[in-house]
């Protein structure tokens, strides 16, 4: 409490200099106002693949969706993978290195008909700041059914 704003504390109650009692509902802020301050950072989610039906073994590369600033995500990023394909899928993260060339930062295999989470423990580059991330999905054997959805999630700086 700022010096001079309160006269004394008696039996657990704080008395203001004007004689009124301050309790938890009064004077939430130092300035005595009752305004609630919301602090924190925004959660960001970017949809990379949305119910993508894969029927071959070709690479499916998707860059960051338009309007999503991947550079605004501070710290670790997480890929949530919903694989209803009847084959496992290899999820890779592609980034641009300092020379501007695209490099494969790592990958993780998600089993058929399952949910998977790809974190910085799987691909350390997900903990780094990048202006753009491309997510690649690829099956070694062509699936005959199902789809794939991949979201990138993180907290804005």
The count of structural domains within the chain is 2
Same structural domain, 33 and 65 = no
Determine the pLDDT at residue 15. Answer: 63
Q: How far apart are CA 150 and CA 107, in angstroms?
A: 14
Token pair 């790592």: residue: 106
pLDDT over 80 (residue 83): yes
Residue 72 belongs to domain spanning: 43-156
Bridge partners of 153? 45, 78
One domain for residues 106 and 54? yes
Same domain, 49 and 116: yes
Same domain, 31 and 66: no
Q: Are both 151 and 130 inside the same structural domain?
A: yes
- The answer to whether residues 65 and 92 belong to one domain is yes
Span 6-27, average pLDDT: 57
Cβ count near 121 (within 10 Å) = 11
Cα–chain center distance at 29: 31
pTM for the whole thing? 0.70
């Amino acid at each position: 409490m700022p010096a001079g704003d309160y006269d004394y504390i008696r039996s657990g109650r704080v008395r203001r200099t004007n004689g009124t009692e301050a309790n938890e509902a009064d004077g939430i802020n130092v300035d005595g106002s009752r305004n609630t301050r919301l602090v924190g950072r925004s959660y960001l989610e970017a949809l990379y693949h949305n119910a993508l039906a894969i029927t071959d073994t070709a690479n499916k590369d998707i860059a960051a969706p338009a309007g999503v600033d991947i550079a605004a995500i501070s710290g670790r990023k997480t890929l949530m993978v919903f694989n209803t394909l009847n084959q496992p899928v290899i999820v890779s993260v592609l980034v641009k290195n300092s020379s501007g060339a695209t490099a494969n930062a790592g990958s993780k295999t998600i089993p058929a008909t399952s949910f998977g989470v790809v974190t910085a423990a799987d691909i350390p580059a997900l903990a780094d700041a990048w202006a753009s991330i491309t997510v690649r999905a690829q099956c070694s054997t062509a699936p005959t059914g199902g789809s794939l959805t991949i979201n990138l999630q993180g907290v804005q700086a």
